[in-house]
Amino acid sequence: MSQEAVISARGLTMGFGDLILMESLNFDIHSGEIFVILGGSGCGKSTLLKHLVGLYKPMAGKITIAGMVLDPDNDDSFKRILSRIGVMYQGGALFSSMTLGENVALPITEYSNLKGAAVEELVSLKLRQVGLEGFEHHLPEELSGGMKKRAAIARALALNPEILFLDEPSAGLDPISSAELDTLILRLNRTLGTTFVVVTHELSSIFTIAERVIMLDKETKSIIADGDPHELKNASDHPYVRQFFNRQPEMER
Amino acid sequence: MSDSASMTTTPPITIEHTPGQLSLTLSGVLDLRTTPEVLDQLAHIHKPLPKLIRADLSAITGMDDCGALVIFQLRRMAEKHGCELELAGTPAHVRDLLAFLRVDDPPRSAGAKRPRPGIMTRFGMKTIQVWDQSGRHVSFVGEVTVTLLSLLRHPGRLRLGDTVLYMQRVGVDALPIVGLISFLLGLIMAFMSAVQLQQFGANIYVASLVALAMVRELGPIMTAILVAGRSGSAFAAEIGTMKVSEEVDALVTMGFRPAMFLVAPKIIASVLVVPLLAMYSNIFAIAGGLLIGVTTLDLTVNAYMAQTMSTLTIFDINWGLFKSAIFAVLISTVGCFKGYQVRGGAASVGKATTSAVVTGIFLVILVDSILAVILRYWRP
Ligand SMILES: Nc1ncnc2c1ncn2[C@@H]1O[C@H](COP(=O)(O)OP(=O)(O)OP(=O)(O)O)[C@@H](O)[C@H]1O
Ligand SMILES: [Mg+2]
C-alpha cells in the first residue's frame, strides 16, 4: 500500500464565530487507509468532516486533497476534488422528494455514460450491497432511521469514489447490519483501494475496520491520540484514550 | 489506479464473430468509466447471435460493481437469443466480487413502481382527498375552537412571549410594505377616477371614492392579501418543517397540545394586529389620494380631508375592522392547518406553503363577497 498522503491538514483551526473548536491540527490520511475520527460528542468531528470536504472554511491552516489545495472558491480544482469524493452525512440527507432509487441514480446519470436499464441495474446492485434491495420505489419518509442511513451510504457509494467520508454510518443500525456494513467497507477498501474517513463511536466497528484513528479532545482543542486503535487501547499514555477504548466511565477525581 | 486504466486507449473488449460462436475478450479495468462503452458495444453486436457466447475474462485486472453489469448484460443476451453462455478464465477477484454481489440471485422485484394513475383514477383520488381533507379541516377547526374557548377560562395558558413575537412578525414587520402598497393604491385610484370625475367638475368626490373604497373594501383586502403572502406562508412553513423533523411529535409526547402551543399564539396575534394594519393601510391610501387631489385636482388639503370625513361613517370603519379580524382568523388558521398536513420532506413543505397562500386568499375573497351580500340586505 502506498504511503502517500491523499489528504493532509496543516495548522487547521476551525470553529464558528468566537467559538474555536480545534486549534492547529496536523494530520495526514494515506491513500487506501481506513481512517477513523474519534472524540466525545460535540467535540467537532462532524465539523472537521465538513471542513475536509470543503463545506466550511478553516479559520486558519490549509487542507490538501490528492495534491490539490482544497479551495471551494476555485471552481476548477474544487470540481476535480469533488469528483473523487463521496460523502454520507450524519442525518442521511436523502432528497425527500425522490425515491431511494432516484436518490442513488442521481449521481450515476449525471456523471457517467450509463443509460436506462443499466442505471437501474447498478442502482439495485448498490442497494443490494447495503441490504436495501427491493426498496427502489420507496420515498425516504417511508423508511426507518437505520434504513435511511444505509440508503445514504448507497448514494455515497454510487460512483465508487476514491475517498469516502462517512459520518456515523453505523449509528442506529442493529449489530448485524452494522457488521455487514463493516464488511462492505473493508471490501471496498481491499478491492478498490478506496480511502475511508469515518466518524464512529462503535468500538467493535473501530477495532474491525480502523487502521488508524485520531482522537479529538474538546478541552485541549487538539489531537490527543493518533495511531492503531489496538495499540492505543493499552499503550496510550493518555488516560482518556484508554478509558475510551476500554469503555470505562470517567474516573472520580 | 482507475486513472491509468482510463488512459489506455485499447477498448476493454474485443469481439470476434465466427460462425457458431461469439468470442468476447474482456481486459483491463471494468469500472464506471469503461463499462458504458462495453455495454454499448455489446448492444450493437450483429444479430442473430450464434449458439454459443464465450467470454474470456482472464485479462480483467480490476472490476467493481459497475463492471458486473457486463455480466448481467451477457446473461440477458444469452437468455433472450436462446444461446449458451460460457464464462472462461474468471479471475479469483472477479469470482469473489460476483459472489459478494450475489449475481446469481434473481434481482428481487423492486416492489410495485409508484403507479401513474389514469385520469379517472386521479379524478377519483382527488375527490376522495378533498372529502378526507374537509373532514380533517373540520376537526382541526374544532380543536382550535375548543382551545381558544378554553383560553377564555384560563388565559394564563396562552404563551404570551410567542404571541408578542408573532404580533411583531405579522404586524410590525409588515408596516413598510403595507404602507407603500396602500399609498400607491390610493394614488392610482385617485389618479384614475380623477380623469373621469373631472369631466363633470366633480373633483371633490375623488376624496369620497378613495376613502370609501379603501375603508370598506380594499384596505382590509389588500392587507389580508399581504398578510397571507407574508405570514400565512410563514406559519405553514414553520409548522410543516416542525412536522417533518418530528418536533410536533415531541410536543405531543411532552404533554403540550400543539393547538395551544403552536396555533393559538399565531391566531390571536393575527387577530390583534391585522385590523390595525388595515387601519394603517387606509391612512396611507388616503394620503396617496390626497397627494393627487392637491397636486393635480386643485383641491386644498382641508377640503379633501373634510370631504373624506363627511363621507366616512363610524359604521364603515368598524365594518372594515371587523372584516379584517375575520380575514386574520381565516389566514392564520389556514396557514397552520396546511402546515399540519405536511407529510414527508422538503417538497411537501413547499406545497403546503403555496397552498396556504392560495387557499388563504381565496377564502378571504369568498368571505368578503358573502359579507357584502349580507350587508346589502342588512342595511339596505
Ligand atoms: N453551524 C454551527 N454554528 C455554531 N456552532 C456549531 C455549528 N455546528 C456545530 N456547532 C458546534 O460545534 C461543536 C461541534 O459540533 P459537531 O457537530 O462537529 O460535533 P460532533 O463531534 O460531530 O458531535 P456528535 O458526536 O454528537 O455528532 C458543538 O459544540 C456545536 O455546538
Ligand atoms: Mg457529529
pLDDT in tens, B181-229: 999 999 999 999 988 888 888 888 999 999 999 999 999 999 999 999 9
Report the separation in Å between the CA atom of A16 and the middle of ligand 1, taken as the mean of its atom positions: 9
| A44 closest CA partner among A220, A226, A225, A217 | A217
* pLDDT on residue A243: 83
How far is Cα B260 from Cα B265, in angstroms, rounded to an integer? Answer: 8
Q: Is A54 in the pocket of ligand 1 (CB under 6 A)?
A: no
Burial B191-210 (b: 16+ CB within 10 A, else e): bebbeebeeeeebebbbbbb
Report the separation in Å between the CA atom of A167 and the middle of ligand 2, taken as the mean of its atom positions: 7
Residue whose Cα lies nearest atom 24 of ligand 1: it is: A41
Indicate the pLDDT class of residue B110, thresholds 50, 70 and 90. Answer: low
Any CB–CB contact under 8 A between A109 and chain B?
no
Which residues lie below 8 Å from residue B217, measured CB to CB, with a gap of 6+?
B368
For residue B2, pLDDT over 50 is answered with no
For residue A114, pLDDT over 70 is answered with yes
User: Which ligand 1 atom sits closest to the C-alpha of A50?
Assistant: 18
Whether residue A225 contacts residue A238, with contact meaning beta carbons closer than 8 Å, is answered with yes
Helices and strands, number each (H, E), in chain A:
9, 10
How far is Cα B127 from Cα B133, in angstroms, rounded to an integer? Answer: 10
* pLDDT on residue A113: 84
Indicate the pLDDT class of residue B289, thresholds 50, 70 and 90. Answer: very high
The residue to which cell 448484460 is assigned: B73
Any CB–CB contact under 8 A between A125 and chain B?
yes
User: Which ligand 1 atom sits closest to the C-alpha of A43?
Assistant: 21
Substitution candidate for ligand 1 out of A14, A16, A53, A219 with most atoms within 8 A of CB: A16
CA distance A3 to chain B (A): 15
For residue B300, pLDDT over 70 is answered with yes
φ/ψ bin of B368: left (φ > 0), alpha (ψ from -120 to 50), beta (otherwise): alpha
Residues A157-200 have pLDDT tens digits of 888 888 999 998 888 788 888 888 888 889 888 888 889 999 98
Give the mean model confidence (pLDDT) for residues A58-85. Answer: 87
Whether residue B201 contacts residue B296, with contact meaning beta carbons closer than 8 Å, is answered with no
- Mean of the per-residue pLDDT values of chain A: 87
Is the preceding peptide bond at B48 cis, omega within 30 degrees of 0?
Answer: yes
Q: Which helix (H) or strand (E) holds B140?
A: helix B119-153
Report the separation in Å between the CA atom of A12 and the middle of ligand 1, taken as the mean of its atom positions: 16
Query: Which of A125, A136, A187 is the best substitution to test chain B (most B C-beta atoms within 10 A)?
Result: A125
* pLDDT on residue A176: 87
- Mean of the per-residue pLDDT values of chain B: 87
For residue A222, pLDDT over 50 is answered with yes
The proportion of chain B whose per-residue pLDDT surpasses 90, expressed as a percent, equals: 48
Please measure the distance between the N-terminal and C-terminal CA atoms of chain A and give it in whole angstroms.
44
A 10 A CB-CB count for B96 gives 15
Whether residue B141 contacts residue B257, with contact meaning beta carbons closer than 8 Å, is answered with no
Whether residue B245 contacts residue B342, with contact meaning beta carbons closer than 8 Å, is answered with no
Top mean-pLDDT range of A31-40, A42-51, B83-92, B360-369: B360-369
Between A121 and B18, whose confidence is greater?
A: A121
Residues B159-168 have pLDDT tens digits of 899 999 999 9
How far is Cα A241 from Cα A225, in angstroms, rounded to an integer? Answer: 7
| B339 closest CA partner among B325, B323, B355, B326 | B355
Is residue A173 classed as helix, strand or coil in its secondary structure?
coil
How far is Cα A11 from Cα A59, in angstroms, rounded to an integer? Answer: 10
Give the mean model confidence (pLDDT) for residues A42-62. Answer: 90
* pLDDT on residue A197: 93
For residue B347, pLDDT over 50 is answered with yes
For residue B338, pLDDT over 80 is answered with yes
Q: Could you say which ligand is closest to the alpha carbon of residue A216? A: 1
Q: Residue A196, Cα to own-chain centre: how many angstroms?
A: 6
Per DSSP, helices labelled H in chain A are 45-52, 75-82, 100-111, 116-129, 145-157, 175-192, 203-209, 229-235, 239-246
Whether residue A169 contacts residue A130, with contact meaning beta carbons closer than 8 Å, is answered with no
With beta carbons under 8 A apart, name residues in chain A contacting B343.
141
How far is Cα A61 from Cα B291, in angstroms, rounded to an integer? Answer: 61
| A39 closest CA partner among A233, A235, A213 | A213
- Residue B189 is placed in which grid cell? 385610484
* pLDDT on residue B105: 73
How far is Cα B183 from Cα B285, in angstroms, rounded to an integer? Answer: 4
With beta carbons under 8 A apart, name residues in chain B contacting A6.
none
* pLDDT on residue B108: 63
Report the separation in Å between the CA atom of B209 and the middle of ligand 2, taken as the mean of its atom positions: 63
Give the mean model confidence (pLDDT) for residues A40-54. Answer: 89
Q: Which helix (H) or strand (E) holds A8?
A: strand A5-16
How far is Cα B73 from Cα B42, in angstroms, rounded to an integer? Answer: 8
Q: Is A39 in the pocket of ligand 1 (CB under 6 A)?
A: yes
A 10 A CB-CB count for B104 gives 8
Q: Do A134 and B39 touch (CB under 8 A)?
A: no
With beta carbons under 8 A apart, name residues in chain B contacting A113.
36-37
Q: How far is CA B34 from CA A124, A232, A253, B40, B75, in A?
A: 20, 42, 61, 10, 19
How far is Cα B313 from Cα B30, in angstroms, rounded to an integer? Answer: 85
DSSP for B55-80, written as a single string: EEEEEEEEE-TTTHHHHHHHHHHHHH
CA distance A138 to chain B (A): 8
Q: Lowest-pLDDT range, A228-232, B163-167, B266-270?
A: A228-232
* pLDDT on residue B3: 45
Tell me which DSSP letter residue A165 carries.
E
Over its C-alpha atoms, chain A yields an Rg (Å, rounded) of 18
A 10 A CB-CB count for B223 gives 30
CA distance B100 to chain A (A): 8
How far is Cα B261 from Cα B42, in angstroms, rounded to an integer? Answer: 63
* pLDDT on residue A251: 62
Q: What is the largest CA-CA distance in chain A?
A: 64
Report ipTM for this prediction.
Answer: 0.76
Give the mean model confidence (pLDDT) for residues B104-131. Answer: 78
Q: Is A200 in the pocket of ligand 1 (CB under 6 A)?
A: no
Report the separation in Å between the CA atom of B12 and the middle of ligand 2, taken as the mean of its atom positions: 43
CA distance A96 to chain B (A): 5
For residue B9, pLDDT over 80 is answered with no
How far is Cα A156 from Cα A87, in angstroms, rounded to an integer? Answer: 5
Report the separation in Å between the CA atom of A47 and the middle of ligand 1, taken as the mean of its atom positions: 6
* pLDDT on residue B109: 60
How far is Cα A122 from Cα B193, in angstroms, rounded to an integer? Answer: 68
- Residue B99 is placed in which grid cell? 459472489
Over its C-alpha atoms, chain B yields an Rg (Å, rounded) of 36
Q: Is A91 in the pocket of ligand 1 (CB under 6 A)?
A: no
CA distance A74 to chain B (A): 23
Residue A137 has its nearest CB partner, among B39, B111, B344, at B111
Between B281 and B47, whose confidence is greater?
A: B281
pTM beyond 0.80: the answer is no
Residues B28-77 have pLDDT tens digits of 888 888 888 888 888 888 777 778 888 888 888 888 888 888 888 888 88
For residue B172, pLDDT over 90 is answered with yes
Q: How far is CA A131 from CA A186, A202, B89, B163, B347, in A?
A: 16, 20, 30, 48, 27
